[in-house]
Amino acid sequence: MSRFYWVRHGPTHAKAMVGWSDIPADLRDRAQLARLAAHLPGDALVISSDLIRARTTADAILRGRTRLPDDPDLREIHFGAWELQAFDAVPDQSLLRAFWETPGDIRPPGGESWHEVSARVSLAAARLRAAHPGRDIIAVAHMGAILTQVQAALGVSAYEAFAHRIDNLSVTELHWAEDGWQVQAINHAP
């Protein structure tokens, strides 16, 4: 069995849709980072998205664990033309509503659909399982990336997966066995 500990990066304090923009995380809450690091298995492998907010969060909780190279496939949803825009500033509000209310093949202009981000993150998780069978893996990623795996583990629609909160510095623990994913915790705050 492989155990995945999906950790959402530290807060950015952005008030807009942040996907592939390389915005740093606020990691000043050392006590919260220490609790998070202590909660995670000490012999786990650590990997993160290649975006700075995930990379620096992974480094902050490393504590002697083995660090794997960053994986761009663990990035957040690519919001394309909507990147760094407030929700109410997006010109095509009907497309924006459809993107969030009926996630699937709808994509922002120049961005990616829910199905595309889900396939990207799922392939990264499968590569990690294949390369490190039976190992605990701490994957520091983003809300959308983590929700794709919650959706896969629960076998629910993307819309139902969106009902789950994924707070900054929370842990979503999913176990992989031969019969698929098992959910242990979603959005746990150590």
What's 29's domain CATH number? 3.40.50.1240
pLDDT class of 166 with cuts at 50, 70, 90: very high
Looking at the whole model, is its pTM more than 0.85?
Answer: yes
Task: Point out which residues pair with 4 in neighbouring strands.
Answer: 137, 174
Query: Residue 113's domain spans which residues?
Result: 2-188
pLDDT class of 70 with cuts at 50, 70, 90: very high
Q: What is the pLDDT of residues 95-124, one digit of tens each?
A: 999 999 999 999 999 999 999 999 999 999
Is residue 179 pLDDT above 90, yes or no? no
Q: How many domains does the chain have?
A: 1
